[in-house]
Structure 1
Amino acid sequence: MPYQRIVLAVDLTDESIEVANKAAAMCKAFEGQLTIIHVIESLNYAYGGDVPIDVSDIQEQLQTTATKHMAALVDQLDIPVESTIVTQGGIESEIHRVAEELRADLIIVGSHGRHGLALLLGSTANGVLHGAPCDVLAVRVKSSH
């Protein structure tokens, strides 16, 4: 059965375009629809509880920056993108939630080297695999470092 509804989860690092190009190729091959999601881990969630300062301005800045980076990523693809989603929360749970809501056939994530945010996505790729409502494809990308 071909994949018709593909969810691409990106961390918006430089390597994201590699993963996005693979997702675009799969969409072309299967004539599927691509939704791209980026999850900003909420600071409260990341630190396991209440943060003693108001982080709403920081979260808003992160949202604005991520939305701009997402638009730039989409502009580099040679296929139409069904939708883009920038959301906040637990990374794996948000990816699972969106995949369920869209009745996705496939989630694509990058599997990165062990540096910076890529370390987070490396563990995220594993987290997405467990508990996913559909197939998961981890695309190995070369580290830029």
Structure 2
Amino acid sequence: MKAYQQILLTTDLTKLSEEVARKAVNLAGHFNAQITLLHVIQRHPEDFQGSVDTFEELMETNRTKINTFVKAIPIKNTTPMLRLSEDSIENEIIEVAKEIKANLIIIGSYHGDEVTDDNQLNINIVKEQAMCDVLVVHPDQSKTA
């Protein structure tokens, strides 16, 4: 088996996703792998209606959140990445995985394999379209409740 060297860790920056990230960091440590931490913000055109200030505020708020998230885990050998997407979150994950040449995508699932907690990400789409392995991690919700 070829060792995982590029891991794409998707996150919604919630407390539950912190446990998923800790598991990913543990796995990455075994392979001495690089982690790209991806948070996708789905943009709907009506959300901004041309307001550059609102867009900039959203990006800055999420930059702060992702940096805080990285420090809380902590995640070494990581590249935090924010994406604003008018496309689907699934397509953005697949695109980033291709860009970084990921050989493993890690996704947290809080309610089974199909749709994540926020009902925006369909994990099955990522699993079907990914050109690499996809690991779905189920956090222990009793620890974070």
CA distance in 1, matches of 2:124, 2:117: 13
How far residue 126 of structure 1 moved from its aligned partner, in angstroms, is: 2.5
CA distance in 2, matches of 1:59, 1:101: 24
Give ranges in structure 2 of 5+ residues lacking alignment: none
How far residue 5 of structure 1 moved from its aligned partner, in angstroms, is: 0.5
Partner of residue 47, structure 1: none
Partner of residue 5, structure 2: 4
- Spell out structure 1 runs of 4+ moving beyond 6 A: none
CA distance in 2, matches of 1:106, 1:126: 15
CA distance in 2, matches of 1:109, 1:101: 18
The partner residue of 2:69 within 50, 70, 73 is 73
The partner residue of 2:57 within 52, 61, 66 is 61
The normalised TM-score by structure 2 is: 0.82
Contact 2:48 2:55 (8 Å CA) reproduced = no
The residue type equivalent to 1:36 in the other structure is L
- 1:62-119 CA-partner distances (Å, limit 9, x unpaired): 22221111101110234413311101112111111111011101000100139xx823
Give the 3 Å change call, closer, same or farther, for CA 55–19 of structure 1 in structure 2.
farther
Q: Which moved more, 1:105-114 or 1:11-20?
A: 105-114
The residue type equivalent to 1:113 in the other structure is H
SS at match of 1:66: helix
Give the 3 Å change call, closer, same or farther, for CA 60–110 of structure 1 in structure 2.
same
The normalised TM-score by structure 1 is: 0.82
The residue type equivalent to 1:140 in the other structure is H
Partner of residue 118, structure 1: 117
CA distance in 1, matches of 2:54, 2:67: 20
Give the aligned length.
Answer: 137
% identical aligned pairs: 34
The 5-angstrom pairing of residues 1-145 of structure 1 reads 1-44=2-45, 53-54=49-50, 56-89=52-85, 90-113=88-111, 118-120=117-119, 123-143=121-141, 144=144
The residue type equivalent to 1:99 in the other structure is A
